[in-house]
Structure formats: structure tokens, C-alpha cells
């Protein structure tokens, strides 16, 4: 499919039916697979024969969607997971174990912060956060001989900061480490981190990739570009894996070493498996990803510009606005648009923000973003409600902050809804 443009690949990559086969990708709803000989099955266990063995590890429907996403991101292989959280865990844990540490941008999804700073700490893995104001020297001062990777989010949820992928890739590579990028909000339609030096990409496919609030899922994609052998820091990839009869991932799987290990070791042992039906539903979403992202960006840009001019709004944060501190980064990494999420403050503080939310008719209050339907959340009264106003400000979540996920409806209807709700909030 290399010859096709990316928006064509959204529809045509992965499942390519031959003569007489179903036009739409079938759901292979089976946990297991029949073989004619024990020898063939033995070969599967040795990773020397091709084929599926057990759906916890791989499945034909899942594999077809993995192939599509690998092509969209420009990687050598991908692995779907049961959630975005599972993808973040596996992406790091595949190369970073107890007694080791990794560097993460501090501006990332709150759930990932919990996973990295609380749960992975209990696994003996330490995260070291790099704040946006740090110099290169200050970031490199966080690195020691036990550091194993760098991590950041292309467009951070909910801060909407734009990650300087090239800068972090160069810092990471300078000390012989790979860069992992969470590309959830951008999707490969708006940014392909491998083109800027990232080595591994992951997504919560629950967001724009699915796009219809239908199915929770995640994915990890391997660029195949990182040299795991150089520097000797990754023996789990370059030395025999006893749990697979001494397979050496770099020797036996070449460029696909990382993603093969993630599947045959982590997926086998952790079982964070996507269901075939989930893969099917995700594939339906991917079919229309290109057109949806175009519309999300166009609508969000229009709404951000409208809000910025509205006297009832105290501030607007959207990387597509020249007033955004990340505007220059957005121009570089997101030339096709800045995705669909905007945050803004309603004049009148927490009370006015809540009144605004409650007055919306089209935009739905949900704990979700990146859906085809416009949705909205007031973090101060929901996800962050246990914090005082002072603590909220420290966390970058002001009491008046509204997170607005712009959908693909007609923009005039979304604007009219915002307008009437702002009138009630300020009335
Ligand atoms: N990464 C980002 C950027 C997210 O926004 C989310 C969820 O909101 C996740 C990861 C976790 O994904 P999931 O909810 O699919 O587990």
C-alpha cells in the first residue's frame, strides 16, 4: 500500500480482500486456531512458524487493524492493546524494568501520570518529569546509567501543549535512548512522530481513531529505527529470552525486535488483549479518520477564534491561535490543523463555568474527549473536584476552565449552542 496517500490508506490498508471474499473485514471471533500437525504448533511456540496460536497473543482481525495503523504511522509493526493505559504501560515496560528509570514530559494525560508515578513506582520503575521550562542541560541532568527511555505527548491532554518531538528525540538519541510519543490527540493524520525522530508511538485508540465513543483500546507502533544493540543497554532485546527457548529479538526479528518482544512476552504474560470485535469497531473508525480529523480541526479553529473575540470569555487555549505560546511548535508539527480540543475560561469563575456547561444543549457533558459529537467537561467540578481553588491553579486547571471537545457537526450549530450558553452563564 506504499503507493497510496495516507487518507486512502485509512480505508484500503490492512484488510485487502481477494476475489470473492467479504468486502468488509471479518470478525474472527475465535480464541484458538486449528493446525494439522503438532510440529506446526511446536513451530508457533518456538516463533519459527507463521500463524496465530491463541487470541491472547494474536488474532487475524486484530492483526489486520495493527497492519493498517502501522502503515498510517509509517512503522514496521504495531500491537493493539485493550486500552490506552495498557499501551502506555507496555510501551515503557517493554524496555524499562525494576531499578531503572525513564524521563517523561510533565505535561501529559493525568491517567498516565498516575500510571507512571504511582503504579509503575510500585513495580520498581521511577519516572522523572521534565517540565516545559527546563533547558536541555536540566533535562539531561535527569538521565543516569539506569535511564531507559524518554516519553511525551504530541498534544497534551488537557494542557494542549505541543511536544517538541525533534528536540526530545535528539536529547534521547544523544544519550543512546529511544523516544516514545503518545500521538493520541494528533493521530497520524496531523502528525507522524517517526518523521521527527520518535522511535515508538502509542495511542489511546479510544479517542479520535475510534472516534465514535464506542470502544476502549490502545496501540503501540514500532518505527524499526532504533538501534537496540548499540550501547548494550537493552539486554532483554539483544540477549536470549529464556521464556522463548533462547530467542534473541534483535537477531531473529531485526527491525521488528521491540514490537515482537512486546507481543510474545508482555501480551502473553499481562494479557491486555483487544477483542476481535473491538478491532472491528476500531477499523470502522479508522476508515473515516482522515475526513473526521480535517473537520475537527476546521471547526475547532473557527470556534477558538470566535471564543477569543468574545468578551464573556476570559482566555482561550488552542495551539492553532497565534496567541498560544505553542503556536510556533504547532506550525511545525501540526501544519494540517491542531485537532479538536480547546480549553477556555468563562468570565465569572467556577460558578459561571458550571452554568455555561449546564446550559449547553448540543454539547454533551461527558468524561471523554475526541469524539465525533461535541462534548465538554468542567474539570474543577468533576475530575479534579477534590482540589481547592488554589490547588487547581497549581495543577494548571483553573476553576473557570472548560475543556471543549469540538465535534464534526455543522460549526454554526456548535457556535449557536456556545453563544446561548454563554449568555445564560453571564446573565
Ligand atoms: N493517552 C491520552 C493522551 C489520553 O487522553 C488517554 C485517555 O484519555 C489515555 C492515554 C488512556 O487511554 P484509555 O482511556 O484508552 O485507557
CATH number for domain 8-285, candidates 3.40.640.10, 3.30.360.10, 3.40.50.1820, 3.30.365.10: 3.40.640.10
Residue 196 is given by DSSP the state G
Q: Calculate how far, in angstroms, residue 29's C-alpha sits from the geometric centre of ligand 1.
A: 26
**Atom 1 of ligand 1 has which residue's CA nearest to it?**
204
**Residue 395: predicted pLDDT:** 65
Residues 311, 334: Cα–Cα separation, whole Å? 29
Q: Calculate how far, in angstroms, residue 239's C-alpha sits from the geometric centre of ligand 1.
A: 33
Q: Calculate how far, in angstroms, residue 109's C-alpha sits from the geometric centre of ligand 1.
A: 7
Residues 59, 150: Cα–Cα separation, whole Å? 30
3-state secondary structure of 404: strand
**144 Ramachandran zone, left/alpha/beta (phi>0; psi -120 to 50):** beta
Q: Calculate how far, in angstroms, residue 296's C-alpha sits from the geometric centre of ligand 1.
A: 18
**Residue 381: predicted pLDDT:** 80
CA-angle at 53, arms to 51 and 59, nearest 5°:
75
Residues 130, 424: Cα–Cα separation, whole Å? 41
Contact of 258 with 237, CB cutoff 8 Å: yes
**Residue 394: predicted pLDDT:** 63
The reported pTM is: 0.97
**Atom 6 of ligand 1 has which residue's CA nearest to it?**
204
Residues 340, 35: Cα–Cα separation, whole Å? 47
Is any ligand 1 atom within 6 A of the Cβ of residue 216? yes
Q: Count CB neighbours of 241 within 10 A.
A: 18
What is the layout of strands, in order, in the sheet containing 101-105? Answer: 77-81, 218-222, 200-204, 179-182, 147-153, 101-105, 126-130
Contact of 103 with 150, CB cutoff 8 Å: yes
E-only strand ranges, 185-293? 200-204, 218-222
Is any ligand 1 atom within 6 A of the Cβ of residue 204? yes
Is any ligand 1 atom within 6 A of the Cβ of residue 184? yes
- The class of domain 290-425 in CATH terms is alpha beta
Residues 424, 315: Cα–Cα separation, whole Å? 18
Cβ-defined contacts of 139-142 (< 8 Å, 24+): 139/103, 139/171, 140/171, 140/174, 140/175, 142/103
Residues 324, 321: Cα–Cα separation, whole Å? 5
3-state secondary structure of 178: coil
Is any ligand 1 atom within 6 A of the Cβ of residue 371? no
Is any ligand 1 atom within 6 A of the Cβ of residue 153? yes
**Residue 1: predicted pLDDT:** 63
Residues 147, 207: Cα–Cα separation, whole Å? 30
3-state secondary structure of 88: helix
Domain boundaries, the chain: 8-285, 290-425
Cα torsion through 179, 240, 265, 115, rounded to 10: -40
Residues 253, 169: Cα–Cα separation, whole Å? 24
Q: Which of 135, 130, 140, 144 is nearest to 96 (CA)?
A: 144
E-only strand ranges, 318-407? 341-346, 364-365, 375-377, 401-405
Spell out, as residue ranges, where the chain has pLDDT lower than 50: none
Q: Report phi then psi at 412, rounded to 5.
A: -65, -35
Amino acid at each position: 500500500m506504499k503507493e497510496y496517500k495516507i487518507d486512502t490508506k485509512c480505508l484500503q490498508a490492512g484488510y485487502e480482500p481477494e476475489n470473492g471474499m467479504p468486502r468488509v473485514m471479518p470478525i474472527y471471533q475465535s480464541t484458538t486456531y486449528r493446525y494439522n500437525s503438532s510440529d506446526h504448533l511446536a513451530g508457533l511456540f518456538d516463533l519459527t512458524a507463521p500463524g496465530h496460536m491463541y487470541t491472547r497473543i494474536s488474532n487475524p482481525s486484530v492483526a489486520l487493524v495493527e497492519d493498517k495503523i502501522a502503515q498510517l504511522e509509517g512503522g514496521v509493526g504495531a500491537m493493539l492493546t485493550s486500552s490506552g493505559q495498557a499501551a502506555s504501560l507496555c510501551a515503557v515496560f517493554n524496555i524499562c524494568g525494576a531499578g531503572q528509570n525513564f524521563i517523561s514530559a510533565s505535561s501529559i494525560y493525568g491517567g498516565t501520570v498516575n500510571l507512571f508515578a504511582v503504579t509503575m513506582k510500585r513495580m520498581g520503575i521511577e519516572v522523572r518529569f521534565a517540565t516545559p521550562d527546563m533547558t536541555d542541560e536540566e533535562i539531561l541532568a535527569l538521565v543516569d546509567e539506569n535511564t531507559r527511555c524518554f516519553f511525551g505527548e504530541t498534544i497534551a491532554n488537557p494542557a494542549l501543549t505541543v511536544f517538541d518531538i525533534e528536540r526530545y528525540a535528539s536529547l534521547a538519541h544523544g544519550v543512546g535512548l529511544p523516544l516514545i510519543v503518545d500521538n493520541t490527540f494528533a493521530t497520524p493524520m496531523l502528525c507522524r512522530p517517526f518523521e521527527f525522530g520518535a522511535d515508538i508511538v502509542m495511542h489511546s485508540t479510544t479517542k479520535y481513531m475510534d472516534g465514535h465513543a464506542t470502544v476502549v483500546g490502545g496501540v503501540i507502533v514500532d518505527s524499526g529505527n532504533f538501534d537496540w544493540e548499540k550501547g548494550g543497554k537493552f539486554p532483554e532485546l539483544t540477549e536470549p529470552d529464556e521464556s522463548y527457548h533462547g530467542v534473541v529479538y534483535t537477531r531473529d526479528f531485526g527491525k521488528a525486535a521491540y514490537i515482537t518482544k512486546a507481543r510474545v512476552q508482555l501480551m502473553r504474560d499481562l494479557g491486555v488483549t483487544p477483542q476481535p470485535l473491538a478491532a472491528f469497531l476500531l477499523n470502522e473508525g479508522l476508515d473515516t479518520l482522515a475526513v473526521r480529523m480535517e473537520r475537527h480541526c476546521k471547526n475547532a479553529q473557527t470556534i477558538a477564534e470566535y471564543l477569543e473575540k468574545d468578551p464573556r470569555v476570559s482566555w482561550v487555549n488552542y495551539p492553532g491561535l497565534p496567541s498560544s505560546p505553542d503556536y510556533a511548535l504547532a506550525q511545525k508539527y501540526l501544519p494540517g490543523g491542531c485537532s479538536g480540543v480547546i480549553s477556555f475560561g468563562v468570565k465569572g469563575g467556577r460558578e459561571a463555568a458550571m452554568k455555561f456547561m449546564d446550559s449547553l444543549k448540543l454539547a454533551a457533558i461527558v468524561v471523554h474527549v475526541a469524539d465525533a459529537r461535541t462534548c465538554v467537561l468542567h474539570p474543577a467540578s468533576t475530575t479534579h473536584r477534590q482540589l481547592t481553588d488554589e490547588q487547581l491553579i497549581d495543577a494548571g486547571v483553573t476553576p473557570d476552565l472548560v475543556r471543549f471537545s469540538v465535534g464534526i457537526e455543522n460549526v454554526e450549530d456548535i457556535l449557536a449552542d456556545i453563544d446561548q450558553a454563554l449568555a445564560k452563564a453571564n446573565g
